[in-house]
Structure 1
Amino acid sequence: MSDQPEARAGEAFDHEAFDHKAYDHAAFDHEAYDCVVVGAGPAGLSAALNLTRARQRVLVVDSDRPRHAATMLSHGFITRDGVPPHELRRIAREELERYPEAEVLRRASVDSISRDDGSAQAGDAWGSAAAHPFTVRISGRTAAGARTVRSRTVLVATGLRETLPALPSIRAFYGMSLFSCAACDGYEQGDGPVALIGETDDLYARALLVGQWSSTVTVFTNGVAPLTAHEETALGDRGIRVERRVIDDLEGERGAIAAVRLADGERIPVTGGFVRPLWHPIVGFLGALDLDTDDSGHLVTDRDGRTSLPGVYAAGDVAAPGPQQLIVAAGAGARAAAIITHDLLGVTTAH
């Protein structure tokens, strides 16, 4: 194990034991950074912007495969309500890349991150293993894009991958008339008949939530979701119908869902809907760090984004099960950036 402090998430951070020595940035090694940000969604880009404005040298590794790529419009982001998510990313990257302290690697991914066991000493050179204990191995879409860099800290903002119910046409409607986030897209559903499709054990709670935005909701369990008889009765008392039969497919044209077709051939008309995917935090490249995770695989952090290993932070959907909104992730990234700067300096002030 490392000589760095072993505080677990939520425990007090040992500033005296952690390396927070000031370095001469004018003499930096071009492959050494104050922070490597893994992921360029709202959490990662927000963190990177705030870190660069604190004059930290930052490398952002952007796979350019955002989970919201299928979504036409984003909502609930102050000053940007109704803006396409790809436009938010474009603006954020453009703003970040104005700063000389920031570097963005596009169409790249992190293969692994390891941590040197040595502890920093006064006089350690910028870019040395002691001063920059994290080694980050990066690959691009071609062999020429491979790089290995060192960093004082790492921020994980990789988000989630999703597995949708196995319906043949579901991708044709996902992001256009079928969504996963009720808070993000519920308002536009109006009062038309809405479907909630899912096979997860939280379907009852999701149905109650979707009922906030639509008065005509049908929950489709696809024959497998574990809704109890008591839960079905409780939903019925709220005017929410439960359909337990197996789904054959979805019907509609040009991204607009029109009906859920059941295996027995019956069609249930809908004008929109929600789906409850299975979520998979993107953390496979972190195996060598042995970070604490919860039962769902999310990274466990304290309220400031510190993981169980000092020097590694997490923000956005990879670190918590929700709410999965762009503005929430961006706020988490900004907070983590402030904490990283404070930790590197060894200060504990709230401002």
Structure 2
Amino acid sequence: MSEQFDWDVVIVGGGPAGLSAALNLARARRRTLVLDSNRPRNSATFHSHGFLSRDGISPLELRKMGREELEQYPNVSFERTIVEGIEPLVAADVADAASALEGASATVGAGFTVTHRGRAVTTRTVLIATGLREVLPKLPMLRAFYGTSIHSCMECDGYEYADKPIALIGHTDDLAERALLLSQWSRDLIVFTQGIGHVSDADEAMLAERGVRVDRREVADVAGDRDGLNGVVLVDGETVAREAAFVRPDYETALDFAAGLQLALDAEGLIVVDAAGRTSTAGAYAIGDATPPGPQQLIVAAGDGAEVAAVINRDLL
């Protein structure tokens, strides 16, 4: 049955989740193709933290090392490319379809065609590991400091700003929860709600007990110099001195290429999966930030990749 397809698994996305899955599938002797657009969400960050044995490594260097490890396996291929579409195969698309599908489990299904750069390949299974896109606050100078003294992941970068003056900028309903978490690194914290972020009176009182202030004025911009961020600029003209800031982005999936799979999505647009990473479409799996609960640390994504790879390998049997 396997010989009817170009690949056993096509993985879309070459971050820690996708590369970890590919490595484990390679070691299971599965013919695996990794397709990656080379547009990681954390590309602006110079250092990633919390990854055992690689604490402080550049995220791009971590991806490079993962690709180099895959190169030693002859049954794996990695391509930088844009995936244009994934479609389930129908019987007419498979040579000797009756033979190819004989004994196939409902978990795996009939296979897929994956199109990239105008070329089509067939695969028994697909694994989506494309992550998310960040939609940052629309502040003119934010990008100049993003990844150096402005960040989105507190668990990743909070330690570097212990006891320093920090800002938390956002507009979502979880601002108070995030401020509480951030206060474990610094109590010199101001939460800027952008005039619309929801922080209840009870939440504000709770934060005040920890020394955290809430500023409900609208933020116009951030300010700084070559040494980094030095303030948050408000619409009334005041600049509030801060040495670092964390922003609460909105997140978007990038799943247009997977429309043909008709995947079930949750209210946030994330791919619904079971505990093993299986989607609502037989033979299609998903891992990493594009699945609930959304953004997570690199080492967690890599662990998910290894776990789902084991599931795919068993399902293919």
Could you say whether these structures have the same fold, taking a TM-score greater than 0.5 normalized by the shorter chain as the test? yes
Distance across 1 between alignment mates of 2:261 and 2:56: 39
Report if aligned partners of 1:172, 1:255 keep a CA contact under 8 Å in 2.
no
Task: Mark the CA change 1:223 to 1:124 in structure 2 (over 3 Å): closer, same or farther.
Answer: closer
Give 1:228 shift. 2.0
- Name the counterpart of 1:135: 113
Which residue, out of 31, 34, 51, partners 2:25?
Answer: 51
SS at match of 1:297: coil
Report if aligned partners of 1:190, 1:214 keep a CA contact under 8 Å in 2.
yes
Report if aligned partners of 2:109, 2:283 keep a CA contact under 8 Å in 1.
no
Give 1:222 shift. 1.2
Report if aligned partners of 1:112, 1:288 keep a CA contact under 8 Å in 2.
yes
Match runs of 1:255-274 below 5 Å:
256-274=228-246
- Name the counterpart of 1:156: 128
Count of equivalent residues:
308
Task: Mark the CA change 1:155 to 1:273 in structure 2 (over 3 Å): closer, same or farther.
Answer: same
- Name the counterpart of 1:12: none
- Name the counterpart of 2:44: 70
Poorly superposed stretches of 4+, deviation over 3 Å: 117-125
- Name the counterpart of 1:6: none
- Name the counterpart of 2:155: 183
Distance across 1 between alignment mates of 2:99 and 2:227: 60
Give 1:238 shift. 2.0
Report if aligned partners of 2:132, 2:295 keep a CA contact under 8 Å in 1.
no
Aligned-residue CA RMSD (Å): 1.9
- Name the counterpart of 1:111: 84
Which residue, out of 291, 309, 312, partners 1:337?
Answer: 309
Report if aligned partners of 1:179, 1:274 keep a CA contact under 8 Å in 2.
yes
Distance across 2 between alignment mates of 1:200 and 1:115: 37
Report if aligned partners of 1:258, 1:272 keep a CA contact under 8 Å in 2.
yes
Which residue, out of 94, 99, 104, partners 1:122?
Answer: 99
SS at match of 2:190: strand
Which residue, out of 34, 56, 65, partners 1:91?
Answer: 65
Match runs of 1:1-351 below 5 Å:
23=2, 32-106=6-80, 108-118=81-91, 121-122=98-99, 133-139=111-117, 146-254=118-226, 256-322=228-294, 324-345=296-317
TM-score of the aligned structures, taking structure 2 as reference length: 0.93
Report if aligned partners of 1:197, 1:222 keep a CA contact under 8 Å in 2.
yes
Structure 2 unaligned spans of 5+:
103-107
- Structure 1 residues 264-301: Cα deviation after superposition (integer angstroms, max 9, x where no partner): 11111111121000001222211111111111011011
Q: In structure 2, what residue type is equivalent to 1:41?
A: G
Report if aligned partners of 1:177, 1:255 keep a CA contact under 8 Å in 2.
no
Report if aligned partners of 2:90, 2:110 keep a CA contact under 8 Å in 1.
no
TM-score of the aligned structures, taking structure 1 as reference length: 0.84
Task: Mark the CA change 1:131 to 1:181 in structure 2 (over 3 Å): closer, same or farther.
Answer: closer
Distance across 2 between alignment mates of 1:275 and 1:247: 12
Q: Percent identity?
A: 51
Structure 1 unaligned spans of 5+:
1-20, 140-145, 346-351
